[in-house]
Amino acid sequence: MTGARMTLRDGLLPAFPALALVIFFLIPFGIMLTVSFFHRVPEAFYEPAFEFANYARFFSPFFGKILVFSMFVSACAAVLAVVIGFPFTYFLSQMPRRQQIPLIVFLLAVLSLSEVIIGFAWSTLLSRTAGVSNLLVWVGLMERPEAFTPSFTALLLGLCYLGFPYTVLVMYPSLSRLDPELPEAARMLGASPMRSFFTVIVPCLRNTIVGTLILVFVFTLGAYLLPQVLGRPQHWTLSVHITDQAIFQSNLPFAAAMAIFFLLVSLALVGLTLLVGKDTETAA
């Protein structure tokens, strides 16, 4: 009897995550995929059909411009977050454990902030009335306060801030496990701390850097509120236009097609990240 119960339990354990995957992912994905082939009816909403017109719009200048800009701004944010986050994480990993804990807790606290709070906080910080321009006027670097938002720079800063904590938390395990004798050996051979950092530490963590770039790129690619709060309409990304097409343009089939494309691109990039991580484990 005990053996039968254990066999039943072992059979039910993998059934629960499989059932959750079907309910929360496969069924919604199937519905969205089906709707993406429907025909839009301007006077109504849409009607069941099987046509590729929504996917054909991917080759239009409208979609191409949105896709190129979305990938460009996300790539810039990912590069900026890694360029700032890599040395920050390296110095963090070199600190005593007692000093590391408050900074890591602070980063975890930043992760609890929603995109709404981050967007409006940066909007206030870059505004004319209560923003950083007033400080620049006070120190004499500007003649009068100016608003730095909405702009591409404001959007880039917001996305970088959004992805920075993830950058640090992803890179921290690899940097904390780095052999401290490597930079010491480089300095004993006459290399300066800066040179040993770029010629020893960075090459050793090349795959980690690439994986972090991909993860932050995918994460910022899905930002929805920041492009609307910190940018102009021409700075709207793919995720914003998906909502715009579904709600305001009443074009749910095209929105579903764009969402399918967005999901496939994200899954491909996540798969590439897993492949990079697998190569890292193999090399180790």
pLDDT at res. 102? 87
Cβ neighbours of residue 142 closer than 8 Å, sequence gap 6 or more: 133, 136
Report CA torsion sign: 119, 83, 168, 241.
positive
Q: Do 57 and 257 form a contact (C-beta atoms < 8 A)?
A: yes
Crossing angle of helices 152-176 and 61-94, rounded to 10°: 40
C-alpha distances (whole Å) from 178 to each of 6, 169, 174, 278, 284 are 43, 15, 6, 18, 12
CATH topology of domain 60-283: MetI-like fold (1.10.3720)
Residue type, 192: S
Average of per-residue pLDDT across 102-111: 85
Contact predicate 126/184, CB 8 Å: no
Helices (H), 198-251: 202-204, 206-221, 226-230, 238-243
Per-residue confidence band for 283, with pLDDT thresholds at 50, 70 and 90: very low
pLDDT at 156: 93
pLDDT band at 72 (very low <50, low <70, confident <90, very high): very high
Q: What is the reported pLDDT for 131?
A: 74
**Cα–Cα distance between 234 and 44 in angstroms, integer?**
29
Instruction: Give whichever of 47-51, 73-77, 203-207, 264-268 has the largest mean pLDDT.
Output: 73-77
- Identify the H or E element spanning 122: helix 115-125
What pLDDT sits at residue 78? 93
279 pLDDT above the threshold of 70: no
What's the Cα-to-Cα distance from 4 to each of 15, 18, 206, 266, rounded to whole Å?
A: 17, 22, 50, 42
- Signed CA dihedral, 200, 206, 212, 213: sign only: positive
For residue 284, pLDDT over 70 is answered with: no
Q: What is the pLDDT of residue 222?
A: 84
Distances (CA, A) of 222 to 8, 44, 85: 41, 29, 20
Entry pTM: 0.82
Tell me the pLDDT of the chain averaged across its residues: 82
DSSP states along 157-196: HHHHHHHHHHHHHHHHHHHHTS-THHHHHHHHTT--HHHH
